[in-house]
Structure 1
Amino acid sequence: MLQDIGSQIMEVYDYVMAGTDPRLKVYPMMQNPVYMSAILLSYLFFVLFAGPRLMANRKPFQLKEAMIIYNFSLVALSVFIVYEFLMSGWATTYTWRCDPCDYSDSPQGLRMVRVAWLFFFSKLIELMDTVFFVLRKKHGQITFLHIFHHSFMPWTWWWGVSYAPGGMGSFHAMVNSVVHVIMYFYYGLSAAGPRFQKFLWWKEYMTAIQLVQFVLVSLHVTQYYFMESCDYQVPLFIHLIWVYGTFFFVLFSNFWYQAYIKGKRLPKLNSKQSHNGKTNGSTVASNGKHAENGTSNGTSHGTSNGVTHHENGSALIGKMKKA
């Protein structure tokens, strides 16, 4: 019986793989989904189990130079991906409505295959985002939304690029790359140090940009449901992209509400730290901690009540002794 089940599974697997684009077979990790799945499982194992245990009794790594190089390298890669998507169809032959996938060996068709695979590969590179969080012990940044987004995107895009590298299903990849140009540029400046903090006043708009991304993606694929006919070859991807855009819009909207309406993710400093630049929040001096407020111009607003009272009391006692 087990042998029969195994043979049936292999038949389904062979049937599924028979539908993939043969032009992708020459690209790394595209022969089958095993390599991609192994990378993602290793990623989840590290960020959820092995990494935190490894760093439990260690000081966080700084990794400043590595993060600067990493972030600005992804900016350059994302710019190149956007350009290639435009030149492969979106700025040349596509109508921005019902655009079928080009399965030919034409120069433009092969160019779209290349950039589609490159976009998938960039999703694997971006797994380093979470690795940096673990090594720097930024546990507050490792949320369900972060891990789900980073693991779900490369897994689904492996199938997307395997079956339909191009056409209207690639619109969201191009838009996502535009967003990543902005996002990793912000991260690069942030990693560069305090002297660049004054240029990062637009942090909260990063989430707004991502929300706009999901709206654009959902609106673009929604056209499909109002067309009399559309010859896009894999309609299943249209439905999945619509669900993807809507689902992540809800998740990122909740993040926006928690972070900027309820203020749960606003940065906090202890009473001995000073801060520069423009920050959001309100100054709360209590129990030795305070949050950032307004523009600080290099001075620390708000001090610990305990420290302030101690200093005032010491000064008063000194004056009484002198008297």
Structure 2
Amino acid sequence: MAQHPLVQRLLDVKFDTKRFVALAAHGGKNFPDAEGRKFFADHFDVTIQASILYMVVVFGTKWFMRNRQPFQLTVPLNIWNFLLAAFSIAGAIKMTPEFFGTITNKGLVASYCKVFDFTKGENGYWVWLFMASKLFELADTVFLVLRKRPLMFLHWYHHILTMIYAWFSHPLTPGFNRYGIYLNFVVHAFMYSYYFLRSMKIRVPGAIAQAITSLQILQFIISCAVLAHLGYLMHFTNANCDFDPSVFKFAVFMDTTYLALFINFFLQSYVFRGGKDKYKADPQKKKKDQ
């Protein structure tokens, strides 16, 4: 019996590990941007396959753990949080000169209208690493369910959609991706550093968690504002921007839903349900979405 073409396409997905490792190991000022973008275009189906596998593993593991004691996973979790914190800090540092240099030299509007040299050289290498990292960050949720921490819709929805958007948008390289990538690096630098300290059993003031959630909300307020103005420019002024309609629509849907969900998370965690006093009473609930 013949399989549906879409099913066959997903089953036939192959990940070119050798090609991936060569790009990841390249680095430097001569990073092959065109080849890096082509890698994601050629492997986009991997994100759909990974999303399906992710859902099966996460919810299957959650069901498997329902009557079992949680795993501590202290050492693996320490290592994982340290690696992601270090990666995010390095990415934020590496991309800061390009981000603010573009705003200063080209203007605020041009910084999200045009790509310029955003994906070139060493900066392009870190953009590529950022996109690739969204596949590997799915492992966050495995730690969560094995430790029997609360699994929120926001957590797994955010992981899946960000990965799919990253691999879909990078081959088309819209100018507004400069904001999403840089802001996410900065927020994750703080967030994973916080997770690392917590996993090391280092006491961190409860206000820090609230501040990080506030940063996440600010990130999506800025992203939504950028997209709103860009939409106005493209549809009412015929501006000449590096712009792809399909990526733009995807970004608008993604960022507006993230903004709504993170605001809801903030309100439920810190306003309606007693804020950090609730977390003192139930420390397990302190582990929130990234």
Normalization by structure 1: what TM-score? 0.67
TM-aligned CA distance change 1:198 to 1:119, over 3 Å: closer
How do 1:116-265 and structure 2 match up within 5 A?
A: 116-138=127-149, 140=150, 142-164=151-173, 167-193=175-201, 196-227=202-233, 228=237, 229-263=239-273
Assess if the C-alpha contact under 8 Å between 1:97 and 1:168 holds in 2.
no
Distance 1:234 1:52, change over 3 A: same
Shift of 1:83: 3.0
Matches of 1:203 and 1:26, distance apart in 2:
38
Shift in Å, 1:216: 1.0
1:23 matches 2:35: yes
Counterpart of 2:273 in structure 1: which amino acid?
G
Residue 80 of structure 1 corresponds to which residue in structure 2?
90
Residue identity opposite 2:277 in structure 1: N
Q: Is the 8 A contact 1:224 1:230 kept in 2?
A: no
Q: What are the Cα deviations for residues 240-276 of structure 1, in whole angstroms up to 9, with x where unaligned?
A: 3233222211111111121112217x6xxxxxxxxxx
What amino acid sits opposite 1:204 in the alignment?
A: Q
**CA–CA distance in structure 1, aligned partners of residues 74 and 43 of structure 2:** 36
1:50-101 Cα deviation digits (max 9, x unpaired): x124324432111112111111211111122223333455535653423423
What runs of 5+ residues in structure 2 fail to find an aligned partner? 10-32, 283-290
Q: CA deviation at 1:204?
A: 1.9
* Greater RCO, 1 or 2 (C-alpha within 8 Å, sep 6+): 2
Q: Distance in 2 between matches of 1:59 and 1:6?
A: 43
* Aligned pairs, number: 249
Q: Highest CA radius of gyration, 1 or 2?
A: 1
Given that 2:134 and 2:162 are in contact with CA atoms closer than 8 Å, whether structure 1 keeps it comes out as yes
Q: CA deviation at 1:143?
A: 1.0
For the residues of structure 1 that align with 2:134 and 2:45, how far apart are their CA atoms?
16
Structure 1 pair 173–145 and aligned structure 2 pair: CA distance change class (3 A): same
The answer to whether the 8 A contact 2:38-2:171 is kept is no
Alignment match, 1:275 = none
Contact 2:41–2:168 under 8 Å retained in 1: no
Q: Which residue of structure 2 lines up, in the alignment, with residue 97 of structure 1? A: 109
**How far apart, in 2, do the equivalents of 1:170 and 1:108 lie?**
9
Unmatched segments (≥5 aa) in structure 1: 11-20, 267-278, 284-290, 293-323
Q: Determine whether 1:280 maps to 2:277.
A: yes
Going from structure 1 to structure 2, the CA distance change for 1:84 and 1:230 (only over 3 Å counts) comes to farther
- Which is helix-richer, 1 or 2? 2
Tell me the CA shift for residue 281 of structure 1. Answer: 4.2
Deviation at 1:25, TM superposition (A): 6.1
Q: State the SS of the aligned residue for 1:101.
A: coil
Structural RMSD (CA):
3.2
Is the 8 Å Cα contact of residues 190 and 200 (structure 1) preserved in structure 2? no
Deviation, 1:232, is 1.4
1:235/1:65 CA distance change after superposition, 3 Å: same
- TM-fit CA distance, 1:150: 0.7
